[in-house]
A and B are shown apart, each in its own frame.
Chain A
């Protein structure tokens, strides 16, 4: 068990809908990262938050947004969902906000299926 908790584990929704994925980082970790993993794209970095502030942005679509709350949990909001958004969404956390996330711990992921 990595200590990173993601909910829900599975989500099935229709095109055009909006969903929220939740992540609770390891106790004491200030950084939260979101990744998308699909069969044809591999693991893609979406966004990083450090202590409530956005720190780095990857290939995150404008339809997607995230935030980190004062208790350090994070939410990833996906709107106007398309079939191509079906993927595994991982959250990871690490202790520091500077340098590389060399020791990031991943949650079990949320499997999103858009029908």
Chain B
């Protein structure tokens, strides 16, 4: 079993839809939870990070962490064609250095 599981998709939605992206994990020691966005042929860029449980909002993006269920989510409101990319969840340990990435979910937002 992988430490981090993420559905690779692809996920196709119409413009303006609410998108929900999710990851599950197995290691309860993870404390830092991140979402990266990767456009084709580009390096991943950090969208949001959350420490421990809770919600965090940044514009159209909301990250949620439920440590009791070992489940994290990224919501994108009013999705735009420019949101079409691969979204990678990532997590790491307190005091640790290496980050474990999910496989990434490919998202297509149709105009």
Which A residues are closer than 8 A to B by beta carbons?
2, 4, 31, 33, 35, 42-45, 48, 55-56, 58, 90, 92, 97-109
Residues of chain B contacted by A107 (CB below 8 angstroms): 43
Q: Which 6 A-B pairs have the closest CB atoms?
A: A106-B43, A56-B97, A43-B101, A100-B92, A42-B103, A100-B32
Q: Would you call B97 and A48 a contact (CB within 8 A)?
A: yes
Q: Would you call B32 and A102 a contact (CB within 8 A)?
A: yes
B95 contacts partner chain A, Cβ-Cβ < 8 Å: yes
- In the bound complex, how far is the Cα of B32 from the Cα of A103, in angstroms? 11
Interface string of B68-111 (1 = CB under 8 A from A): 00000000000000000000101011111111111110000000
Q: Would you call B99 and A104 a contact (CB within 8 A)?
A: yes
Q: Would you call A98 and B99 a contact (CB within 8 A)?
A: no
B60 contacts partner chain A, Cβ-Cβ < 8 Å: no
Residues of chain A contacted by B7 (CB below 8 angstroms): none
The smallest C-beta distance from B50 to any residue of chain A, in angstroms, reads: 9
- In the bound complex, how far is the Cα of B27 from the Cα of A52, in angstroms? 30
A-B contact pairs, 25 of them (CB 8 A): A2-B45, A33-B98, A42-B101, A42-B104, A43-B104, A45-B100, A48-B98, A56-B97, A90-B43, A98-B95, A99-B97, A100-B31, A100-B32, A100-B94, A101-B97, A101-B99, A102-B46, A102-B51, A102-B92, A103-B46, A103-B49, A104-B99, A106-B43, A106-B44, A107-B43
